[in-house]
Amino acid sequence: MLSSKVDVEQIAKPLIELCGEQYPWRWEEDKGILLSEFASNKKDKVFSLLTEYFEHQWHSQNIRFIPDQIKLELGDFSVLKGEQVIFTSSSDYNNTSQLVALWWPWGHGGTISLRVSLLECSYSLDDMKPQSTGLFQYVKGLFT
């Protein structure tokens, strides 16, 4: 998941602009990730933006259904605890297929880290395991 700063900034620019100027970003060279840290009293606004911007939310309850290629690429970041969330979109959704956002609340509850980077792989809805697209689609698939 090591990406160049220019590539990440270019592809993440619409998302960063949605968040607004009050969220400062810095580059984590060793991870190839843009990082913003902010007080938890701002979390509702940012989480809402992420929910609208990305197609999928992966959390501790559904992480086992994330496409295998993404899990492999994210490595340790795919091990989620508490309220940590990974945001992704399939290649079928709004040109955000390479962008990934990592929502990381701190243990003390006062700070949220938001990391944004690029995935080398992309996925389509066909790559998703049946349970992750919803019980209805899974059951429907059994009969078609």
> What is the tens place of the pLDDT at every residue in 4-54?
888 889 889 999 999 888 889 999 988 889 999 999 999 999 999 999 999
Residue 67 confidence (pLDDT) above 70: yes
Q: 0.85 cut: is pTM over it?
A: no
Residue 108: the pLDDT is 83
Give the model's confidence band at 133: pLDDT under 50 very low, under 70 low, under 90 confident, else very high. Answer: low
**Residue indicated by tokens 């810095």:** 26
**Residue indicated by tokens 């690429």:** 73
> What is the tens place of the pLDDT at every residue in 90-119?
877 665 658 999 999 998 878 999 999 998
Q: What is the DSSP letter of 117?
A: E
Contact 85, 78 (CB under 8 A): no
Alpha carbons 23 and 126: distance in angstroms, whole number: 35
Alpha carbons 58 and 12: distance in angstroms, whole number: 19
Residue 7: the pLDDT is 87
Q: What is the DSSP letter of 26?
A: E
For 20-76, where are the E strands, in sequence order?
Answer: 26-28, 33-39, 56-58
Residue 58 confidence (pLDDT) above 90: yes
The H or E element that residue 138 is part of is: helix 135-142
